[in-house]
Structure 1
Amino acid sequence: MTDATWITIISLGVTFLFMMGTPVLLIIFYWVVGCSFVLDLTLDNTGAEMLNVFKDGFALMAMPLFILTGDLINKSGIAKRLSDFAYACLGWLRGGLAMASLGACGLFAAISGSNSATTATIGSMLHPEMVKGGYDERFSAATAAAGGTVGIIIPPSIIFIVYGFLMNLPISDLFVAGILPGTLMVVGMQLACWIICRINGWGYLIPLQLNRVLKTAFGAWLGFFAIGLVLWGIYTGKFSPTEAAGVTVGFCIFAGLVSYPINKIMGANGEKPVSDKSFAEMFAVEGFTLPEIPSIVVRSAQISGILAPLIAVSVVMQQILSLLGAQQTIGDFVTSMGGYHAVLFTSMVIVFFSGMVLESLPVTIILAPILAPIAASVGIDPIHFSVIFLVGASIGFITPPYGLNLYVASGVTGVPYFRLLRYTVPYLAALISVWVLVSLVPDLALALLPNR
């Protein structure tokens, strides 16, 4: 049999295994190993390439720190304060808690810069509250997964850094270009959430009170400060994104350690909701003690241990696809489409379907160097195309069979992967609508940039 026949058989085989419930990591790994044998690539080469992903991948150095930041924010109570503020603003609407969780994802993304950390933190924190509030557990888990998609669009974002490095574009411009599209993604998902919750009658309503909003805003000041610290440091060039993650980790540890004894003295730890505390009590978050830090680090390491192999094996998969001529084929196909909108639409379709089977990092590494020059040749602004490309890649986090956020949400909520799929459909529709809007209206990505 020919190599093409063997690869087809291997692909069909791993598809069957996926349908039987085999973990995604093993599915990709089996495909990589099988194709390596067909192409006469040694397993030594596969292992070495997987190791090089982390040895030479500068952007990935920030991943454990961003994940640790998320866990520290969660444990210290900063994430809870941000979600309380979002709920105070949106709780008067049907489905307000679910909408608040999406808003909290947007705020958290502005600190962590990670889709998976956003999903893991908000999912583990608010999923139990949503279930208690009468929401379907599958919808609640799918909401956390969908909310995490903004983690790589709202700055800071590791994947924007990777894209900027590959395509020689200014990182600061990419960050600014992601602000409006990321905000639109949150608003679009909140609208879809509101419609679904109204249809099903989910969620309890609370009155909109200015006093509650102001108190929760004051209570979330540490979260807002952390967001401002990250953005200020990166935009002014005071530190790199990896250093920004390290600085934020240090800030969260300091805030958590200092806040715990303050709240202990006040007797405020866990006794009443933020909106009922005095302004003095809200000055410090709940915090944590020094002996608790190792357990927080271990939890972050566990999540990193889930994600790192997936990224590594996906990059090796990219190399095999390159050997199979996939890059050349894609380039020739898109070029043959012709004009502005034809190239734009074709590129979006390719990114969407690639995101269904690959993580955003290999999608960017494989496709950005192919599609971006073609897009530029037909007059598409490079910054605008970068946003279009990465919004499409972010949608892949909730599209099967890969759907990394679905995988993470399933892990932190205990809801089986396949039971989440039905409830991601409204969020997919909202995200795709925003994606199309951003692609057709360049000013949504370029309006905040100077000299545009």
Structure 2
Amino acid sequence: MTDATWITIISLGVTFLFMMGTPVLLIIFYWVVGCSFVLDLTLDNTGAEMLNVFKDGFALMAMPLFILTGDLINKSGIAKRLSDFAYACLGWLRGGLAMASLGACGLFAAISGSNSATTATIGSMLHPEMVKGGYDERFSAATAAAGGTVGIIIPPSIIFIVYGFLMNLPISDLFVAGILPGTLMVVGMQLACWIICRINGWGYLIPLQLNRVLKTAFGAWLGFFAIGLVLWGIYTGKFSPTEAAGVTVGFCIFAGLVSYPVNKIMGADKDKHISDKSFAEMFAVEGFTLPEIPSIVVRSAQISGILAPLIAVSVVMQQILSLLGAQQTIGDFVTSMGGYHAVLFTSMVIVFFSGMVLESLPVTIILAPILAPIAASVGIDPIHFSVIFLVGASIGFITPPYGLNLYVASGVTGVPYFRLLRYTVPYLAALISVWVLVSLVPDLALALLPNR
């Protein structure tokens, strides 16, 4: 049989394994190893190429640190305080709690940089409250899944780090470029949420009280400080993204360790709602003890241990695709579309459909090196295209058949995967609308960048 026949058989085989639920990492690895044998590439070469990904990858060190930050703020109770603040601001609107969960996703994303961590944390905290508040459980779970999409757009973003590493772009510029689009994504989803809740009459209203807003804002001060620390350090150039990640981890550990004894001394009741606490009780979050830190680190390491091999094997997959001529074929197809807008929207379609079947990491590693140079050749700003590319990739988190956030939300809420799909449609419409707007208005990505 010819090489093309063997590669077709291997591709069909891994597609079947994917449909049977085999993890994406193994799918890509099986395909890489099979194609390596067909193309007479040694496994030594495969191993060496995977190792080379991390030899000079200083920027990639930020990835496990931001993952650890997300786990620390969740364990310390900072994430719960941010959620309470969002509800105090939006609870007076129909669907206010659901809209607050989307706002909390944006605030959590501004510290953690992870979509799955955002969905899991906010979903596990607010889904039971939404169900108690009269929301449909399917809609509640879908809201957590949709809110998690901003986890990789609002800085700091793990996937922006990977994109900048691959395309040799300043990661700090990518982070700043994601602020306005990420905010628009949250606002767009909140608008869709408000319309759906108003039609169905979901949610109990609470009065908008300045005292409640101030209390919850004061209670969430550690979260706001962490967000401000990251953005200030990166925007002003005081920290590189990797250094910012290290500083934020150090701050969260310090805040968690100090807050625990402060709460004990004050005798604060952690089960009491924040709006019922005194200002003194709200000074410190629940915190954690020193013996708890290793378990938090291990959990973060487990997630990093999944992502790091996926990055490495996806890079090797990209090289094999290049040998097979796939990159040239895709590049020729996109280039043949014509000018600026044709290339832009063709690239967006490719990213959207790729995101339906692959996680954002392999989509980025495989397609960004193909599409980004073509986009630059027709005059699309590289930073602007990075935002367009990754917003499109983030939408894949709630598009079947893959839809990683849907699986995460299903896992933390107990709502079956297929029962969520109906309620993701309004959020998909909102996100796609924002995506198109960002692609047509470059200033939405570039306005906050210095010297632009």
Alignment TM-score > 0.5, same fold: yes
- Structure 1 residues 116 and 57 mapped into 2: Cα distance closer, same or farther (>3 Å)? farther
**Larger deviation, residues 33-42 vs 208-217:** 33-42
What is the CA deviation profile of residues 125-160 of structure 1, one whole-angstrom value per residue up to 9, with x for unaligned ones?
A: 323333343434443333222222212221222433
Distance across 2 between alignment mates of 1:322 and 1:184: 36
Secondary structure (helix, strand or coil) at the match of 2:337 reads: coil
Distance across 2 between alignment mates of 1:140 and 1:49: 43
- Structure 1 residues 308 and 11 mapped into 2: Cα distance closer, same or farther (>3 Å)? same
What is the CA deviation profile of residues 311-341 of structure 1, one whole-angstrom value per residue up to 9, with x for unaligned ones?
A: 4433333233222211111111111111221
**Larger deviation, residues 276-285 vs 442-451:** 442-451
**Larger deviation, residues 165-174 vs 214-223:** 165-174
Quick check: 1:112–1:245 contact (8 Å CA) kept in 2?
Answer: no
How far the C-alpha of 1:69 sits from its partner, in A, is: 0.9
**Larger deviation, residues 246-255 vs 202-211:** 202-211
How far the C-alpha of 1:257 sits from its partner, in A, is: 1.4
How far the C-alpha of 1:23 sits from its partner, in A, is: 3.6
What is the CA deviation profile of residues 375-398 of structure 1, one whole-angstrom value per residue up to 9, with x for unaligned ones?
A: 233232333222212211222233
- Structure 1 residues 348 and 421 mapped into 2: Cα distance closer, same or farther (>3 Å)? same
Distance across 1 between alignment mates of 2:306 and 2:415: 17
Give the alignment's Cα RMSD to 1 decimal: 2.5
- Structure 1 residues 128 and 63 mapped into 2: Cα distance closer, same or farther (>3 Å)? farther
Q: Which residue of 1 aligns with 2:261?
A: 261
Query: Where does the alignment leave 5 or more consecutive residues of structure 1 unmatched?
Result: none
- Structure 1 residues 372 and 261 mapped into 2: Cα distance closer, same or farther (>3 Å)? same
> 1:185-224 maps to which residues of 2 (within 5 A)?
185-224=185-224
What is the CA deviation profile of residues 278-317 of structure 1, one whole-angstrom value per residue up to 9, with x for unaligned ones?
A: 1111111111222222222232233334434444433333
Quick check: 2:62–2:161 contact (8 Å CA) kept in 1?
Answer: no
**Larger deviation, residues 215-224 vs 231-240:** 231-240
- Structure 1 residues 51 and 197 mapped into 2: Cα distance closer, same or farther (>3 Å)? farther
- Structure 1 residues 398 and 318 mapped into 2: Cα distance closer, same or farther (>3 Å)? farther
How far the C-alpha of 1:85 sits from its partner, in A, is: 0.4
Quick check: 2:62–2:245 contact (8 Å CA) kept in 1?
Answer: yes
- Structure 1 residues 147 and 278 mapped into 2: Cα distance closer, same or farther (>3 Å)? same
Q: Which residue of 2 aligns with 1:370?
A: 370
How far the C-alpha of 1:208 sits from its partner, in A, is: 1.7
Quick check: 1:145–1:398 contact (8 Å CA) kept in 2?
Answer: yes
Distance across 1 between alignment mates of 2:6 and 2:400: 24
Distance across 2 between alignment mates of 1:376 and 1:147: 31
How far the C-alpha of 1:48 sits from its partner, in A, is: 4.2
- Structure 1 residues 383 and 87 mapped into 2: Cα distance closer, same or farther (>3 Å)? same
Quick check: 2:59–2:165 contact (8 Å CA) kept in 1?
Answer: no
TM-score using structure 2 length: 0.91
- Structure 1 residues 3 and 134 mapped into 2: Cα distance closer, same or farther (>3 Å)? farther
**Larger deviation, residues 254-263 vs 37-46:** 37-46
Quick check: 1:59–1:158 contact (8 Å CA) kept in 2?
Answer: no
Quick check: 2:60–2:162 contact (8 Å CA) kept in 1?
Answer: no
How far the C-alpha of 1:428 sits from its partner, in A, is: 1.8
Quick check: 1:86–1:104 contact (8 Å CA) kept in 2?
Answer: yes
How far the C-alpha of 1:242 sits from its partner, in A, is: 1.8
**Larger deviation, residues 260-269 vs 355-364:** 355-364
**Larger deviation, residues 394-403 vs 268-277:** 394-403
Distance across 1 between alignment mates of 2:319 and 2:403: 21
Q: Which residue of 1 aligns with 2:448?
A: 448
How far the C-alpha of 1:29 sits from its partner, in A, is: 3.4
Secondary structure (helix, strand or coil) at the match of 1:105 reads: helix
Distance across 1 between alignment mates of 2:23 and 2:253: 34
**Larger deviation, residues 37-46 vs 141-150:** 37-46
**Larger deviation, residues 73-82 vs 138-147:** 138-147
- Structure 1 residues 400 and 52 mapped into 2: Cα distance closer, same or farther (>3 Å)? farther
- Structure 1 residues 282 and 162 mapped into 2: Cα distance closer, same or farther (>3 Å)? same
- Structure 1 residues 367 and 112 mapped into 2: Cα distance closer, same or farther (>3 Å)? same
**Larger deviation, residues 216-225 vs 279-288:** 279-288
- Structure 1 residues 289 and 165 mapped into 2: Cα distance closer, same or farther (>3 Å)? closer
Quick check: 1:92–1:205 contact (8 Å CA) kept in 2?
Answer: yes
Instruction: Check if 1:51 corresponds to 2:51.
Output: yes
What is the CA deviation profile of residues 32-57 of structure 1, one whole-angstrom value per residue up to 9, with x for unaligned ones?
A: 33333333334444444444444443
Q: Which residue of 2 aligns with 1:91?
A: 91
How far the C-alpha of 1:413 sits from its partner, in A, is: 3.8
Quick check: 1:66–1:117 contact (8 Å CA) kept in 2?
Answer: no
How far the C-alpha of 1:225 sits from its partner, in A, is: 0.4
Distance across 2 between alignment mates of 1:134 and 1:420: 17
- Structure 1 residues 416 and 294 mapped into 2: Cα distance closer, same or farther (>3 Å)? farther
How far the C-alpha of 1:2 sits from its partner, in A, is: 2.9
Quick check: 2:102–2:190 contact (8 Å CA) kept in 1?
Answer: yes
Secondary structure (helix, strand or coil) at the match of 1:279 reads: coil
- Structure 1 residues 203 and 55 mapped into 2: Cα distance closer, same or farther (>3 Å)? farther
- Structure 1 residues 361 and 19 mapped into 2: Cα distance closer, same or farther (>3 Å)? closer
TM-score using structure 1 length: 0.91
**Larger deviation, residues 238-247 vs 11-20:** 11-20
Query: Where does the alignment leave 5 or more consecutive residues of structure 2 unmatched?
Result: none
How far the C-alpha of 1:364 sits from its partner, in A, is: 3.1
Quick check: 1:314–1:358 contact (8 Å CA) kept in 2?
Answer: no
Percent of matched pairs sharing the same residue: 99
What is the CA deviation profile of residues 149-180 of structure 1, one whole-angstrom value per residue up to 9, with x for unaligned ones?
A: 21222122243344345445444433332211
Distance across 1 between alignment mates of 2:80 and 2:131: 17
How far the C-alpha of 1:76 sits from its partner, in A, is: 0.9
Secondary structure (helix, strand or coil) at the match of 2:246 reads: helix
Quick check: 1:74–1:125 contact (8 Å CA) kept in 2?
Answer: no
- Structure 1 residues 167 and 11 mapped into 2: Cα distance closer, same or farther (>3 Å)? closer
- Structure 1 residues 36 and 200 mapped into 2: Cα distance closer, same or farther (>3 Å)? farther
